[in-house]
Chain A
Amino acid sequence: MIDEIRKAMASASADYIEVRVQRAGSSDVRYTGKELEHIGRRTQLGGSVRAMVKGGWGFSSFNELADLPDYVEATCRQARLVERETPGLAPVEPGQATVVAEPEVDPRDVALEDKQALCEAYNKIILASPKIQTSNVVYRDSTIDEYLVTSDGAELHQETCFAGVMVMAVAKDGADVQRAYDSVGNIRGYQVVADREAVCEEVVRRAIDLLSAEQPDAGPHTVVLDPKLCGVFIHEAFGHLSEADFVYENDRLRKIMQIGRRFGPDSLSICDYPRMPGEAGYYAYDAEGVAGDRTYLIRDGVLDNRLHSRETAKMMDEEPTGNARCLNYSFAPIVRMSNTFMEPREHSFEELLDGIDDGIYAIGAIGGQTDMEMFTFSAEEAYEIKNGELARKLRDVVLTGNVFETLGDIEMIGDDFEMYGGLGGCGKGGQMPLRVGDGGPSVRIKNVVVGGQ
């Protein structure tokens, strides 16, 4: 395949050409309520060409691989129309490797009926409770075989194999419906979706408990986030702002995001690490053929580095970090996170709660969003904290913060640590859901605004 791609690129002329070919296969099982709504396999085959001429970009995606030479030609023509003067791309050691997926149990070796039986068993546990109105159990595995060839020497064949399952319980009382869910998914293999009966029971309990939970009081609170919500908080509060494609052409933002600027306390360090073994955001080489590495976004409270593509690195005169990613062959790579986390510190959970007279302990994450300055993140469930102790149960807890204030309001960082993946993912520029890992320890932050009564 690599030779075929090289041949198709041979006669084209551009400052940079990148060709990607992906063959993908996936299987899905979905129960909604009693019904098995979907089961089956899918395949996909497609490719894309990206070309740069004097800073202007052309891009094409397609399914007819036989026409690859024509697409290369047409993409170079598009790039020539753009006329955008930039310094080009940062030089890198072009990746040349074959990366094989190494799932412990390969989902392709598991029969479709076994996947169905697993989901059915989880679904039965959820529906067994009379207070549960309906359920959702979604299983998905996907294997992607990708070839990447660039005009400056990258030749990569990378395979990834993802498997995950999401279970959801919907409890209903009159017109009140409450949902609780759990989602696990990463590249470790099929075994991660097995033996989750206890999780299903837990999800049922949480959904039912939410029916009697109360709404929080609107306004600022001291909050303690669990590791999962901490991950989403970091992702939204700082991860996106670290993506250099937001800053690189804006002088004002470059000044604001100057390396060395303080954002949080000395105890705060935030990393992005594509090669974190087994995690949902894992990759060895990014979509431009650059090896992924550990990047400190914040180290000891201070802005240390940011996430780059080759273009943003060149423009800002910094080192590429291997963070150009695309959702699939039909999208051009943009700067993205991989596995993003806050480093743990020394405080126990009891210490985090201690001294909070009136606060909120927020657990799990439904999602989050950012406009780069302000951000929101929503908890699956929560408890009031009264005089250092957990008190009444809360629901609909959505928190908001401001990146220039909230990181500085971090009071204490816990000693626990957990990474999360799952079937969901990150969205940016219409590319969603991109598999990412988020995580961290439990963390205590003051003055976080909560929406509510």
Chain B
Amino acid sequence: MMNVNELIDRILSRAGARADAAEVYFKSSESRPVEFENNKLKYIATKSGRGVGLRVIHNGRIGFSSTSDFSRLAELVDSAMESARFGQEARFEFPEHCEPSEVKVFDERVKELDPKEMADLGHRGIDAILAEHPDVQCSGSVNASVSRERVANTRGLDVGYTSTRSSISLTALAVGDDEGFLWVGDRRSGADLVDDVSPLVKTINRDLELAERTATLSTGTYPAIFTPDAMGTLLLSISQGVNGKMVQKGASPLTGRIGEQILDGRITVVDDALTEFGPASAPHDTEGLVSGRTTLIDKGVLKSYLFDLQTAGMLGERPTGNGIRSYSSQPNPGHNNTMVLPGDTPYPDMLAGIKRGILVDAMLGGGMSNTLAGAFSVNVDLGFLIEDGQFAGRIKNCMIAGNVYDLLKDGIETIGDTPEMKGALSVPHFCFKGIRLGTQ
């Protein structure tokens, strides 16, 4: 088998001979998940994958094709050229050069982690949950992966990097005497080695305990604390809203509103590719543009959208280095790590301030309503009644609904002072003045 780098060079020179300009994006990854089901280790797996995407610009139009079948490279070039006959008009040129940012995305320890250690890690977590809650069933996975990507084009750019990622996720299911189900879970991930299960165990054991009691509420409007996990669902609307593609189509409600106060003055949101060992950190994007930080919302004022090359070109804006793709798709604007900056209220104070309200941690059906307009309407999968600053039991079989833009503009009571990194989103707890809750 030919060396991969030679292969990329060969595709580029073949495509370069036929198209006005060409770009190859290569990505390979090897991930080694260890999976637990019903308190027991079930799978040890190795998943390797690699492929190339070829983008050409010919007679001013974009063509694209991709493959993971490296015996069919002639066909790859033919398909990309065929696609350029109809393709979109190119509103950019491939970059000639990139000085990648300095950011740590590789940890040798992740690469070296062996399945035995990963299995032990999972067992340790599950045993610690079962020690306090012997009746629950735990599932989960411990994963370590190494990825390599390279972007090269016929204008001379040739950059790439190797990154690692590790993650732990654990879920516990408790089936009550009333036949009710309770799911609680937690996860951690990063480019560095995530090998401490204790925070996950702590969260899961705490939530299992809190949910032992149940509470009922009638339909009405209640003050509500949203945990960082729950905020992730709400922030979907904002991330769609600042996506340059949605703006270019005029579909985003934030179109044409740069400089406008769109949210509460206490909210600042930054897209950050440079968080050390962040799950979505990168020295450059998938088009070979240097990665950095983009302030999206500054004290409630809309400052910027996120762009890839083509979308920025169409709007005459500067690209922000947010071209995201897999090898089998063309770039689109997307997020790196999303950082919602903390406010000034400690979580215990937030909780103590609620006389009668709810805490929302997990929701069912998020992203399945008109998220673009900011609408949300979800089942409270894990939520609690709060009375006089104390948890007073789990609430179930109810829906909360509202509009994210309205809520984040006029509905905020307080913002927590301690952000938590969940996946590629860092956000603190938020307390809202009133959320509409529907129940039987």
Contacts and interface: CB of A to CB of B under 8 A. Distances in A.
**Is this pair of chains taken from one and the same complex?**
yes
Interface of A: 23, 32-33, 35-46, 56-64, 66, 74-75, 78-79, 81-84, 112-113, 116, 133-134, 170, 172, 175-179, 215, 218-220, 245, 249-250, 252-253, 256, 330, 332, 366-378, 395-398, 400, 402, 404, 447, 449-453
Given A133-B251, A449-B397, A450-B438, A46 B381 contact: no
Given A220-B438, A369-B366, 14 more contacts: A35-B88, A38-B64, A39-B64, A57-B44, A63-B51, A64-B48, A134-B249, A172-B250, A218-B437, A330-B49, A369-B365, A398-B369, A451-B401, A451-B438
B45 A60 contact: yes
B64 A43 contact: no
Contacts of B64: 38-40
Interface of B: 1, 37-38, 40-51, 63-72, 75-76, 79-80, 82-83, 85-88, 115-116, 119, 135, 137, 173, 175, 179-181, 183, 219, 245, 248-253, 328-330, 364-370, 372-373, 375, 377-379, 381, 396-401, 405, 436-440
A215 B80 CA distance: 46
Contacts of B175: 250, 252-253, 256
Given A32-B245, A371-B364, A373-B181, A43 B67 contact: yes
A84 B41 contact: yes
Contacts of A44: 51, 67-69, 328
Contact of A56 (B42, B116, B135, B378): B42
B401 A81 contact: no
A223 B45 CA distance: 45
Contact of A396 (B47, B86, B180, B369): B369
Contacts of A218: 219, 399, 401, 436-438
A178 B1 CA distance: 51
Contact of B365 (A41, A74, A179, A376): A376
A371 B399 contact: no
B1 A33 contact: no
Nearest to A447: B440
17 contacts: A41-B79, A42-B65, A45-B68, A46-B49, A56-B44, A59-B43, A61-B45, A61-B46, A63-B51, A134-B249, A218-B438, A366-B369, A367-B368, A371-B364, A374-B381, A451-B401, A452-B401
Contact of B251 (A172, A249, A451): A172
Contacts, number: 261
A371 B181 contact: yes
Given A178-B370, A178-B373, A375-B364, A398 B401 contact: yes
A43 B379 contact: no
B44 A81 contact: yes
B147 to A, nearest CB: 14
Given A38-B330, A63-B50, A398 B381 contact: no
Given A78-B46, A249-B37, A39 B83 contact: yes
Contacts of A245: 37
Contact of B328 (A39, A42, A369, A453): A42
Top 9 A-B pairs, shortest CB-CB distance? A218-B438, A376-B365, A451-B399, A45-B69, A451-B377, A40-B83, A451-B401, A398-B377, A367-B368
A371 B211 CA distance: 16
B42 A57 contact: yes
Nearest to B75: A43
Given A60-B45, A61-B49, A78-B45, A37 B88 contact: yes
B133 to A, nearest CB: 13
A2 B116 CA distance: 34
Contacts of A43: 66-69, 72, 75-76
B67 A82 contact: no
B370 A250 contact: no
Contact of B38 (A46, A250, A396): A250
Q: Is the interface of A mostly helix, strand, loop or mixed?
A: strand
Contact of A398 (B119, B137, B173, B368): B368
B32 to A, nearest CB: 9
Contacts of A63: 48-51, 68-70
A177 B231 CA distance: 22
Contacts of B115: 78, 81
Contacts of A176: 253, 373
A60 B181 CA distance: 33
Given A56-B41, A58-B43, A368 B368 contact: yes
Given A81-B44, A378-B368, A449 B439 contact: yes
B1 A64 contact: yes
B250 A452 contact: no
Contacts of B80: 40
B88 A36 contact: yes
Contacts of B365: 367-369, 376-378, 398, 400
A94 B344 CA distance: 64
A418 B438 CA distance: 31
A23 B69 contact: yes
Contact of B440 (A61, A78, A449): A449
Contact of B364 (A38, A370, A395): A370
Contacts of B251: 133-134, 170, 172, 177
Most B CB contacts (10 A, CB to CB) among A253, A400, A447 go to: A400
A42 B67 contact: yes
Nearest to B76: A43
Contacts of B377: 378, 396-398, 451-452
A450 B88 CA distance: 43
A373 B175 CA distance: 10
Nearest to B33: A59
Most B CB contacts (10 A, CB to CB) among A75, A218, A250, A369 go to: A218
Given A43-B75, A84-B40, A402 B46 contact: no
Contacts of A37: 88, 330
Given A40-B83, A218-B219, A449-B439, A79 B379 contact: no
A372 to B, nearest CB: 6
Contact of A40 (B63, B183, B397, B400): B63
B370 A395 contact: yes
Contact of B439 (A58, A75, A177, A219): A219
B19 to A, nearest CB: 13
A370 B381 CA distance: 9
Contacts of A57: 42-44
Given A56-B42, A374-B379, A378-B377, A81 B219 contact: no
Contact of B87 (A36, A377, A396): A36
Contacts of B173: 250
A74 B45 CA distance: 10
Contacts of B248: 33
A78 B65 contact: no
A220 B68 contact: no
Contacts of A40: 63-65, 79-80, 82-83, 87
Most A CB contacts (10 A, CB to CB) among B67, B137, B364 go to: B364
Given A33-B249, A378-B377, A449-B397, A74 B46 contact: yes
A312 to B, nearest CB: 11
A64 B372 CA distance: 41
Contact of B397 (A83, A330, A374): A374
A371 B1 contact: no
Most B CB contacts (10 A, CB to CB) among A84, A177, A178, A404 go to: A177
A371 B83 contact: no
Contacts of B219: 218-219
A376 B379 contact: yes
Contacts of B378: 376, 398, 451
A257 to B, nearest CB: 10
B400 A32 contact: no
A449 B396 CA distance: 11
B104 to A, nearest CB: 27
